[in-house]
């Protein structure tokens, strides 16, 4: 047994209202730079729907993830090492920008600069890539809320896999939201695809990161990732991906997407797993066995043998304690409510989902029956094969049994708790029907409905005894190193020269530069056009505001920005 | 060290007086190669030390795939064969191939055929790539001045090389560069540069060699650096790379007196 710890996330899809707050805050934090305009480390898809990038689940086309070869051994679907090197000059399976979308902004200046005319002036869209006027035809969530639109049954990859009857009826049935981030897989195919070895999995917390200094832009990771969650920064020529907000997680804070989630549907915690079992689990012969196989990789942090092995593996006691309290462990292993997204890709993903019961509840309510009666709900789950089959295609490689069991537990909890809330005697037969006790059911309800911040996010800070050696802890000034850059700015040869700077230092400089700069971030050659997503509210991007008439000019703003800078420096 | 250099300079000065090579020949064929090599090596060291982040292919496949899918493999595989041909032609002496039983004529025919074919592939691929770079809007706007310079020099080198081969074989029934250019090339690396050898070489070959030295000189400062990190190690490394957070601690040197005790 080789115990390793993995930072993992569970999302409760019943609670997602599709507000995209996670996407926007994530974008403002990580990808509000030029070169990453089209990149959403976190995106929210409407299912049924095409997803982002379009039809990313079509692995016949994109060849992401792993498959078993004829001898039953695990191989990359896009081909082995030699094949990768031979196709390195033109990756045959790389999504083009059109498969994501062409990012754009608007000619805002036209709104204010236009002379008096009969018709109202129009801010025309312009491509942020080429700078040319463009026709907007697609974006990251273009099919938002269009779950049942005609023609979709042809474009949704998952919908095509379920039966004909389901496809014909799907528009009457359901729609839900699927927020997606990088899965931080136990068996990441992006890392396996990287020719340079720049993508690595951190041994401490399992977060998968791209070493920006080692990435050479060979683009194989983008093909390798079946979830298409590695992106190519077209300005720096490097791959970028969700970082699980590691600078925040290291100090015990949840990721930005979780922190800002309006529905409070995200849970973050540790999972202990046996690294020796990963390969065997990923090589399970039948795709429908992969969910169970992955469950067997996880270890029970309450088991003394596991604790002893974890201690031998150097996992600190506070981390083992956090693993015991982990809401993710409870939802995945104890209650078996959460399911992995597309286990058939064989990457052993570590962002799991509680499938939504709401389509079923809504369907029952529409018939006029009592939607919270357990008998009605159980019958409906059985009768409404459509959502179950679709969900099974998403979460269990098509096996409806685990999805059915999860939905039954959720339905039972609804009925059981309703009796309690209405002051009636709780019916202990309801939890018994799904193999639980009333006590377990109340605890499960507590975790799903009431859990506060510190119960939803059980994130042990990176080892306290290493605090001084961590990048992000501000226990000492990160700038005062011998011969370091001091407060003077960058190294001798421009922005990224002079070796790796700690992230905190980089962020500090970047923030200060942006806050004191007269011009906004982003390509300056597209004069008169502002990417509002890149604009942080500082400075006066040309074209956003009309020119001043009172003669103060940009000088007034500059002096304000200057005083802001002084404040910043004073505070630091 | 210094005395060796002085000795070399004396020897070259004598050669300039005694041999056929003039001062400019000495500069071009005995000094410039070392300048180019020095810039190439030190430039890469500097770039790797100070600009690891900029060390990338700067691929534009995201913007355009149709032309790239043809042009890029054509160019890259072509240029790899051309490179192998140069290694064979410049580093392997006549005597070795003759000892192996390959006649001069057979060698020449094989080299010219293969070299011309590979050279044409390279040039075609390069033409497609440059056409793509100019005509596809997003790709062109992602092109820096540095890229333009690099493309110009690279094209010059390829065109001159191909022209030298084709011209020599069409006009004069072939030129045996293995009697002159190759020994000169080896003499540079043996640290006994012999500019005399280059004195009577046809002008196209000389221009090709000079442009190649220019390319070597700008190489470390362009996107061409990606060649030196060709991911050969991928064939042998384990699929999943695990790295400890501790590995990054070297990013910040501990303060004096606070170094870790191993």
Q: How do the domains of chain B map onto residue ranges? A: 2-236
Model pLDDT, residue A570: 42
Model pLDDT, residue A487: 36
Cα–Cα separations (whole angstroms), residue B133 to A119, B70, B224: 39, 14, 16
Q: How far is B221 from chain A (nearest CA, A)?
A: 13
Model pLDDT, residue B15: 59
For chain B, the straight-line distance linking the first and the last C-alpha, in angstroms and rounded, comes to: 39
User: With an 8 Å Cβ cutoff, is A465 touching chain B?
Assistant: no
Residue A519's pLDDT band (cuts 50, 70, 90): low
Contact between A155 and A46 (Cβ < 8 Å): no
User: With an 8 Å Cβ cutoff, is A238 touching chain B?
Assistant: yes
Segment A501-516 mean pLDDT: 63
Nearest to A90 among B72, B142, B232 (CB): B72
Residue A156's pLDDT band (cuts 50, 70, 90): confident
Nearest to A85 among B59, B138, B231 (CB): B231
Strand order of the sheet with strand B242-243? A208-210, A199-202, B242-243
CA-nearest residue of chain A to B224?
Answer: A216
The CA distance from A393 to A150, in Å, is 21
Q: How many helices (H) and strands (E) does chain A have?
A: 26, 14
Cis amide prior to A53 (ω within 30 degrees): yes
Model pLDDT, residue B124: 97
Q: Say yes or no for a CB contact (<8 Å) between B234 and A215.
A: no
The CA distance from B151 to A50, in Å, is 40
Structure token pair of residue B257: 């007196």
Segment B21-25 mean pLDDT: 81
Residue to test with chain A: of B46, B49, B56, most A Cβ within 10 A: B56
Contacts of A96 (CB under 8 A, 6+ apart): B61, B62, B63, B64, B65
Residue A85 burial (CB count, 10 A): 18
Which residue matches tokens 């976190």? A42
Stated as kind and residue range, the H or E segment containing A4 is strand A3-12
The CA distance from A123 to A323, in Å, is 52
The CA distance from B230 to A546, in Å, is 51
Tens digits of residue pLDDT in B54-85: 899 999 999 999 999 999 999 999 999 999 99
Segment B162-168 mean pLDDT: 89
User: How confident is the prediction for chain B on average, in pLDDT?
Assistant: 87
Least Cα distance to A385 among A229, A173, A568, A211 occurs for A173
Q: Helix B145-171 and helix B203-218: axis angle, to 10°?
A: 160
Q: Helix B104-135 and helix B66-91: axis angle, to 10°?
A: 150
Structure token pair of residue A320: 């083992």
Model pLDDT, residue B251: 47
Model pLDDT, residue B17: 60
Rounded (5°) CA angle B111-B115-B116: 120
Q: Say yes or no for a CB contact (<8 Å) between B235 and A81.
A: yes
Tens digits of residue pLDDT in A454-483: 999 999 987 644 544 444 444 444 444 444
Q: How far is A196 from chain B (nearest CA, A)?
A: 5
Nearest to B53 among A199, A213, A470 (CB): A213
Tens digits of residue pLDDT in A157-185: 887 777 666 666 665 667 889 999 999 99
pLDDT at A548 over 90: no
Least Cα distance to A221 among A204, A242, A203 occurs for A242
Q: Percent of chain A scored above 90 by pLDDT?
A: 62
Structure token pair of residue A411: 């339905």
pLDDT at A256 over 90: yes
Cα–Cα separations (whole angstroms), residue A172 to A278, A361, A367, A431: 40, 14, 13, 31
Model pLDDT, residue B102: 86
Phi-psi region of A447 (alpha: psi -120 to 50; beta: other; left: phi over 0): alpha
Contact between A570 and A549 (Cβ < 8 Å): no
Contact between A353 and A336 (Cβ < 8 Å): no
Q: Say yes or no for a CB contact (<8 Å) between B248 and A500.
A: yes
The CA distance from A143 to A157, in Å, is 14
Segment B253-260 mean pLDDT: 64
Mean pLDDT lowest for which of A6-15, A412-421, A520-529? Answer: A520-529
Structure token pair of residue A241: 């991906």
User: How confident is the prediction for chain A on average, in pLDDT?
Assistant: 84
Contact between A9 and A349 (Cβ < 8 Å): no
Cα–Cα separations (whole angstroms), residue A362 to A14, A148, A175, A365, B202: 12, 15, 11, 5, 85
Residue A372's pLDDT band (cuts 50, 70, 90): confident
CB-based burial, A92-116: b 16+ in 10 Å, e otherwise: ebbbebebbbbbbbbbbbeeeeeee
Q: Percent of chain B scored above 70 by pLDDT?
A: 85
CA-nearest residue of chain B to A279?
Answer: B240
The CA distance from A170 to A336, in Å, is 27
Strands of A160-305 (E only): list them.
176-180, 199-202, 208-210, 230-233, 238-241, 266-274
Predicted ipTM of the assembly: 0.86
User: With an 8 Å Cβ cutoff, is B105 touching chain A?
Assistant: no
Please tell me chain A's helix, strand, coil percentages from 3-state DSSP, rounded to the nearest 5: 40, 10, 45
Segment A258-278 mean pLDDT: 96
pLDDT at A346 over 60: yes
Would you tell me which CATH number, out of the four given (1.20.950.20, 3.60.150.10, 1.10.10.10, 3.40.640.10), belongs to the domain B2-236?
Answer: 1.20.950.20
CB-based burial, A154-185: b 16+ in 10 Å, e otherwise: ebbbbbebbeeebbeebeebbbbbbbbbbbbb
The half-sphere exposure of B254 on its side-chain side, counting CA atoms within 13 A, is 12
Residue A551's pLDDT band (cuts 50, 70, 90): low
Mean pLDDT lowest for which of A248-262, A459-473, B72-86, B211-225? Answer: A459-473
Q: Say yes or no for a CB contact (<8 Å) between B56 and A217.
A: yes
Which residue matches tokens 């699929």? B239
Strands of A334-485 (E only): list them.
339-340, 351-354
Residue B167 burial (CB count, 10 A): 15
User: With an 8 Å Cβ cutoff, is B93 touching chain A?
Assistant: no
The CA distance from B195 to B197, in Å, is 5
HEC string of B128-179 equals HHHHHHHHCHHHHHCCCHHHHHHHHHHHHHHHHHHHHHHHHHHHCCCCCHHH
User: With an 8 Å Cβ cutoff, is A501 touching chain B?
Assistant: yes
CA-nearest residue of chain B to A127?
Answer: B138
The CA distance from A494 to A486, in Å, is 15
């Amino acid at each position: 047994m080789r115990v390793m710890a993995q930072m993992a996330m569970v999302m409760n899809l019943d609670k997602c209202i599709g507000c995209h707050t996670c996407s926007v805050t994530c974008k403002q934090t990580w990808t509000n730079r030029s070169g990453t305009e089209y990149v959403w480390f976190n995106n929210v898809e409407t299912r049924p729907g095409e997803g982002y990038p379009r039809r990313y689940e079509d692995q016949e086309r994109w060849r992401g993830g792993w498959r078993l070869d004829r001898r039953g051994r695990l191989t990359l679907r896009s081909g082995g090492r030699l094949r990768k090197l031979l196709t390195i000059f033109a990756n045959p399976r790389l999504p083009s920008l059109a498969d994501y979308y062409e990012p754009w902004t608007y000619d805002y200046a036209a709104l204010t600069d236009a002379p008096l005319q009969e018709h109202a002036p129009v801010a025309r869209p312009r491509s942020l890539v080429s700078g040319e006027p463009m026709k907007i035809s697609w974006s990251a969530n273009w099919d938002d809320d269009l779950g049942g639109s005609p023609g979709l049954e042809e474009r949704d990859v998952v919908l095509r896999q379920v039966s004909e009857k389901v496809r014909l009826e799907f528009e009457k049935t359901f729609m839900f939201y699927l927020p997606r981030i990088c899965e931080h897989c136990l068996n990441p195919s992006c890392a396996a695809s990287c020719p340079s070895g720049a993508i690595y999995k951190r041994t401490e917390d399992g977060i998968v990161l791209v070493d920006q200094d080692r990435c050479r832009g060979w683009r194989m990771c983008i093909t390798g990732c079946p979830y298409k969650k590695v992106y190519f920064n077209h300005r720096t020529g490097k791959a970028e991906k969700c970082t699980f907000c590691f600078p925040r997680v290291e100090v015990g804070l949840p990721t930005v997407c979780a922190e800002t989630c309006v529905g409070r549907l995200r849970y973050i915690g540790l999972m202990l797993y046996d690294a020796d079992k990963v390969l065997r689990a990923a090589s399970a012969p039948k795709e429908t066995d992969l969910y169970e196989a992955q469950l067997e990789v996880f270890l029970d942090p309450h088991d003394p043998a596991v604790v002893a092995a974890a201690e031998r593996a150097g996992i600190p006691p506070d981390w083992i304690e956090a693993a015991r309290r982990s809401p993710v462990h409870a939802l995945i292993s104890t209650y078996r409510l959460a399911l992995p997204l597309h286990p058939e890709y064989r990457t052993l993903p570590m962002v799991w989902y509680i499938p939504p019961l709401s389509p079923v509840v809504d369907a029952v309510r529409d018939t006029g029956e009592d939607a919270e009666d357990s008998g009605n709900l159980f019958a409906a789950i059985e009768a409404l094969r459509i959502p179950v089959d679709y969900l099974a295609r998403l979460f269990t490689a098509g096996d409806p049994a685990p999805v059915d069991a999860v939905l039954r537990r959720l339905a039972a909890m609804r009925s059981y708790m309703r009796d309690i809330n209405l002051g009636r005697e709780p019916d202990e037969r309801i939890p018994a029907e799904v193999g639980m006790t009333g006590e377990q059911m109340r605890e499960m309800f507590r975790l799903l409905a009431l859990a506060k911040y510190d119960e939803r996010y059980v994130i042990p800070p990176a080892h306290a005894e290493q605090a001084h050696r961590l990048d992000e802890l501000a226990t000492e000034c990160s700038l005062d190193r011998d011969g370091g850059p001091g407060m003077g700015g960058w190294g001798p040869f421009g922005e990224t020269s002079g070796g790796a700077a700690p992230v905190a230092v980089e962020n500090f400089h970047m923030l200060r530069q942006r806050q004191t700069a007269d011009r906004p971030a982003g390509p300056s050659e597209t004069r008169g056009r502002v990417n509002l997503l890149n604009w942080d509210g500082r400075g006066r991007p040309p074209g956003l505001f009309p020119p001043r008439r009172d003669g103060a000019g940009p000088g007034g703003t500059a002096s304000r920005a200057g005083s802001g800078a002084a404040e910043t420096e004073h505070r630091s | 060290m210094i005395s060796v250099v002085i000795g070399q300079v004396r020897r070259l000065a004598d050669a300039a007086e005694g041999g056929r090579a003039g001062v400019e020949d000495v500069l071009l064929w005995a000094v410039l190669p070392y300048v180019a090599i020095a810039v190439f090596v030190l430039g890469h060291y500097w770039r790797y030390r100070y600009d690891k982040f900029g060390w990338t292919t700067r691929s534009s496949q995201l913007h355009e795939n149709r032309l790239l899918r043809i042009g890029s493999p054509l160019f890259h595989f072509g240029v790899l064969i051309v490179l192998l041909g140069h290694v064979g032609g410049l580093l392997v002496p006549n005597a070795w191939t003759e000892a192996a039983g390959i006649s001069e004529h057979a060698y020449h025919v094989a080299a010219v055929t293969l070299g011309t074919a590979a050279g044409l592939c390279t040039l075609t691929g390069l033409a497609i790539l440059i056409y793509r770079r100019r005509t596809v809007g997003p790709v062109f706007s992602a092109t820096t001045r540095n890229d333009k310079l690099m493309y110009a020099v690279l094209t010059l080198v390829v065109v001159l090389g191909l022209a030298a081969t084709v011209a020599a074989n069409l006009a004069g029934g072939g030129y045996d560069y293995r009697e002159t250019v190759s020994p000169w090339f080896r003499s540079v690396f043996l640290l006994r540069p012999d500019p005399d050898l280059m004195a009577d070489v046809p002008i196209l070959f000389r221009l090709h060699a000079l442009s190649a030295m220019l390319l070597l000189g700008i190489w470390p400062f362009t996107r061409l650096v990606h060649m030196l990190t060709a991911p050969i190690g991928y064939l042998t490394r384990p699929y999943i790379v695990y790295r400890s957070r501790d590995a990054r601690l070297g990013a910040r040197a501990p303060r004096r007196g606070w170094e870790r005790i191993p």
